[in-house]
Amino acid sequence: YKQESVTAAQALLKQLLIEELADVEDCLTGSGEVAPSLDAANWLRVLTLASEAFGKLVQRVKAVHDVIKETADATAGLDTDSFLSLDDHTRVLSKLKDLLTSICDYCHERLASLITTQSDKQTITACQITELSSIVDNFTDLCEKISGKQSAALRAAFKIQAGNYVHKFHGQRKNKLTMLLDAERWKVAEVPREIQALVDKLAVGGLEEKPAPALKIGNQDYITVGTVLILIQLVSEYCNSACKLQVLAPLIARNLTELLRTFNSRSCQLVLGAGALRTAGLKTITSTNLALTSRALQLVLWMIPHVRAHFSVLTSDPLTGLDSVEKDIGHHIQQLETKVLSIMNSLLGDQLNEWDAKPPVPSKAFRNVSRHLTKLHEAVSTVLPEEQVSDIYEIIHKNFKTRLREQLLKMNIQNNGGPQHGLVTTEVIFYLETMKTLKVLPDKYLSDKAMDDIW
């Protein structure tokens, strides 16, 4: 009966293919397999029909199994030659179990063979992969319930096919992100409503109905560039794919980690490395570009814990790759801030080098210092959080005082109440007024006595 069941399974599959795909009859083989010439939709239809037909066959075999087992159980051990001995009963039960296992394994192998025929060159959509996952899960669960045994063939074939999909999925999005980054001009981008909605799903907030100048997360606004808004969409796609293909969640998590690492490293090359001058045609890398890059990376840093929480529910695999990405992004953000400080130190230092401590006051040099401080504030104050702006200006202030002290020593100007001392005091007051106007420093840095240590 086992061989008859296998033969019936072969005939079922072959007849199904003949009926559904009469135009590709020449693709059929004696074992009921099909050559890889079907498009994705027809291939999935064949799998659906085959799994349904095999499911009915397995259930019929189970019904026969149950009848034979009931009869064997009822007659086992009765003291007459016409009934089963206990040894015979044990052998019958063993063969019955083998019958269920064998037919389930065979059907698994035939469906697995159908799955592996799908060419890597054909495009499979996310919906089709989800449908395939459902077919595999339903048939596998049915067979496990009937035979009491797990069969690895079908799940293994699905995992390979789904892995191919995930590989293509990742490759397409990584290429898209790289192209977008190369074309990014690092200017402020408007935030579409759907992007805010995606972020709200992570942050558990409300929905905005129209484009906004910034992403709102809690009490913070993230003014950022267009590419990072697309990155949010891509991250959402990876998370959704992991939910639908939970068996491949570890692979999808690794791919998403690589995508975030690519965003960080490529943006570093383009902005800190000035690659955007070539790829996007920028004339120079400005403080605004640096600030926007920093804010974009801060947004990615905000997303990572939410991504980690999402995948930790889907897989027990450690997500150590995200830890290293977090560390790399934090270092990159620090480098961007250091670059801003370096630019300002150079600009203000150049002005002090040209300063001759002579009337009129404020001198051209100190007016230029004020202009550079104001221009930087215009570039970063609407992009970076207030605390970070304040930190940047505190460092600029300390560096400026150090550089001014060196210049006073070089010019031999002393705190003696003389004309030059009075001139310097007036210049310093003008400088402090600029800082007060910008509102970037605590009061302790803005008093006249706070500048006494330049002497």
Q: Is the peptide bond before 442 cis (omega within 30 degrees of 0)?
A: no
pLDDT at site 354: 93
Q: Which residues pair with 34 in a beta bridge?
A: 28
pLDDT digits (tens, 9 = 90+) for 205-241: 333 445 677 888 888 889 989 999 999 999 999 999 9
pLDDT at site 213: 78
Domains along the chain with CATH numbers: 2-150 (no CATH), 166-333 (no CATH), 355-454 (1.20.1280.130)
Sign of CA dihedral 202, 164, 121, 14: negative
Give me the residue label for tokens 């579409």.
192
Token readout for 108 is: 């698994």
Q: How many CB atoms lie within 10 A of CB 183?
A: 14
Q: What angle do CA 50, 166, 225 make, to 5 degrees?
A: 140
Instruction: List all residues 6 or more positions away from 423 whose beta carbon is below 8 Å from its beta carbon.
Output: 357, 358, 359, 361
Give the C-alpha separation, 215 to 207, whole Å.
11
Give the C-alpha separation, 222 to 324, whole Å.
23
Q: Give one DSSP letter per residue of 217-277, joined into a string.
A: ETTEEE---HHHHHHHHHHHHHHHHHHHTGGGHHHHHHHHHHHHHHHHHHHIIIIIT-THH
Give the C-alpha separation, 103 to 109, whole Å.
10
Q: State pTM to two decimals.
A: 0.79
Residue pLDDT tens, the chain, 455 long: 567 767 777 777 677 666 666 655 444 444 444 444 567 888 888 899 889 988 988 898 888 777 777 777 666 655 555 566 666 666 766 777 777 888 888 899 989 988 887 665 567 888 889 899 999 999 999 999 988 888 888 999 999 888 989 999 999 999 999 999 999 998 988 888 888 888 887 765 333 445 677 888 888 889 989 999 999 999 999 999 999 889 899 999 999 999 999 999 999 999 999 888 888 888 899 999 999 999 999 999 999 999 999 999 999 998 999 999 999 999 999 999 999 999 999 999 999 999 998 999 999 999 999 999 999 999 999 999 999 999 999 999 999 999 999 999 999 998 888 889 999 999 999 999 999 999 999 999 998 788 888 88
